[in-house]
């Protein structure tokens, strides 16, 4: 199953400068706690995995796309998640 998410979108500031919006990618076994730890992002999105191999591949594929960042190597893998990085979220 393929999931397509908005990889990157741009907004123009009053000055005409282009600003890139980043998405954060992560894996966890406890999505409710992780969502709270990241500041309860309003666009939180998650999916579940049946194996660690599948989860780590998804994470790697997402991080190889332009506009995505995150930390790899965490202990959890049962759920993958993304959200838009803003001033009110925590990475």
- Token readout for 90 is 């925590």
pLDDT at 7 over 70: no
Of 8-12, 67-71, 84-88, give the lowest mean pLDDT range.
Answer: 8-12
- Token readout for 37 is 């730890």
pLDDT tens-digit series, residues 51-65: 999 999 999 999 999
Return the pLDDT at 91: 80
- How high does pLDDT run on average in the chain? 82
More confident residue, 17 or 5: 17
- Token readout for 13 is 């500031």
Query: Which residues does residue 28 pair with via DSSP β-bridges, in sequence order?
Result: 79
């Amino acid at each position: 199953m393929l999931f397509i998410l908005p990889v990157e979108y741009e907004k123009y500031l009053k000055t005409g400068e282009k600003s890139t919006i980043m998405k954060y990618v992560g894996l966890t076994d406890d999505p409710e706690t992780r969502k709270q730890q990241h500041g309860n992002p309003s666009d939180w999105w998650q999916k579940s995995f049946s194996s660690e191999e599948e989860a780590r591949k998804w994470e790697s594929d997402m991080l190889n796309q332009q506009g995505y960042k995150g930390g790899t190597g965490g202990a959890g893998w049962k759920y993958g998640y993304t959200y838009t990085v803003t001033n009110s979220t925590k990475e």
